[in-house]
Structure 1
């Protein structure tokens, strides 16, 4: 009996752990990559490294803990998206709408962020080491700075 239980646990444990580590909905990942549209999708902890997400509709999507290393998000709409803890190392984020997004603890190391809207976004504990940022309200300090909304 003990041998059967141990064998069962040996087989089931990796499946349980794998599903909890990778919480993204596989259908949502496929939909995003095929159509570029995935508003309100669960993409938490998804591996989107190197993905071409130009103009993607990711409004209110859950990208918490997602890997977006070297992804191209040019012109993407991430309004209200949850990107908390996402890895955006070396990501291209030009003309991205991050309005009211959760950017807490996002790793923007070596990212290129130009002309992007961060109006109302939460940006606590960002890592912007060696990031190239222009015409975007991301910086060090400036708690009283005004971040304009896109018109």
Structure 2
């Protein structure tokens, strides 16, 4: 009998450990999904993959550890959001507004964020492999230790950005503004030019 109880408890614990932990408020998730507005919401750990949040209003929201992979964030307002450790892989975010966004350790591999506003965004240690940032405003952004290998940064503005330890291998920096950038290592970058 004792062995069955222990086995049952272990089974329940194993199931619980396999389930994603989420602190997201279900009502706030529902609000975002229905009307596209959730300012200052707690959506941490929310499973929002493949969602349509085009032109959504999410200013100041907490999306730490959330999964937004494959989602449409075109024109969305994410000013000051917390996306620490979030999964934004293959997100479509043309003309996205995210100044001051917190994205350390976030996965943005393959994301399309061209013509976006990422001024003073914290992308420290983020995975930006193959991301499209054509014409994106990254002035004052923190890209320390970020992996930008294969990224398309043509016409992007990186004035005053911190690129210490960033990987720019095969990143296209054609006509990219690199004025007053910190710690930039252009080894392996494509067509890097200074204005």
In the superposition, the TM-score normalised over structure 2's length comes to 0.64
Question: Would you say 1:94 and 2:94 are equivalent positions?
Answer: yes
Cα deviation 1:98-140 (Å, max 9, x = unaligned): 1111011111111111111111211101111121221114575
The residue that corresponds to 1:24 in the other structure is 24
Aligned length in residues: 146
For 1:47 and 1:89, the matched residues in 2 are separated by: 13
Query: What is the CA distance between 1:145 and its match in structure 2?
Result: 2.8
Which runs of 5 or more residues in structure 2 are unaligned?
149-157, 163-179, 183-195
For 1:74 and 1:106, the matched residues in 2 are separated by: 18
The residue that corresponds to 1:149 in the other structure is none
For 2:16 and 2:70, the matched residues in 1 are separated by: 29
Question: Would you say 1:121 and 2:121 are equivalent positions?
Answer: yes
CA RMSD of aligned residues (A): 2.7
The residue that corresponds to 1:145 in the other structure is 181
The structure whose RCO (Cα within 8 Å, separation 6+) is larger is 1
Which runs of 5 or more residues in structure 1 are unaligned?
147-151
For 1:30 and 1:18, the matched residues in 2 are separated by: 24
Cα deviation 1:22-80 (Å, max 9, x = unaligned): 21111110000001000000100101101000110000000000001100000100001
The residue that corresponds to 1:65 in the other structure is 65
Greater shift in the superposed pair: 122-131 or 26-35: 122-131
Structure 1 residues 19 and 25, CA gap change in structure 2 (3 angstroms): farther
Greater shift in the superposed pair: 34-43 or 135-144: 135-144
Task: Name the structure where helix makes up a greater proportion of residues.
Answer: 1
Query: What is the CA distance between 1:15 and its match in structure 2?
Result: 9.5
**Bigger radius of gyration among the two:** 2
For 2:56 and 2:16, the matched residues in 1 are separated by: 31
